[in-house]
Amino acid sequence: MERQDASVTIKVWDAPVRLFHWLLVALVVFVGELGLGGELRRVQRVAVRLKEAQRLGFTRAVVPQASLGDLNGIEMDVVGAATLREALGRSGIAEG
């Protein structure tokens, strides 16, 4: 069986959204692999990816719970999540 990676685009639908909410969402980066069951899986070189995101202006990150131990030298707000639902909740985009 061939392994395929899934990517997710997170969109905010409908309803009026306040400017500060848009700014908050715009500064959150998501790093991880999404499984078919909605689980977030660890990815390689998470610290390198987050350093690049920080260089690009991101201030907050949501990563797989299993990747929290791989954050050497990261100076941004990083939270871990086990599922997509939890990641959305912790990012402020949706209730988790």
Residues 55-89 pLDDT 10s: 988 888 999 999 998 888 888 889 999 998 898 88
Helical H segments across 1-96, by residue range: 19-26, 46-55, 84-91
Query: What ranges do the domains of the chain cover?
Result: 35-91
Strands laid side by side in the 77-81 sheet: 28-30, 60-64, 77-81
pLDDT digits (tens, 9 = 90+) for 2-48: 444 444 434 444 344 444 444 455 678 888 998 988 899 998 999 99
The model's confidence at residue 51, banded by pLDDT at 50, 70 and 90, is very high
> What are the beta bridge partners of residue 78?
61
Q: How many CA atoms lie within 13 A of 87 on its CB side?
A: 23
Which pLDDT value is given to residue 70? Answer: 86
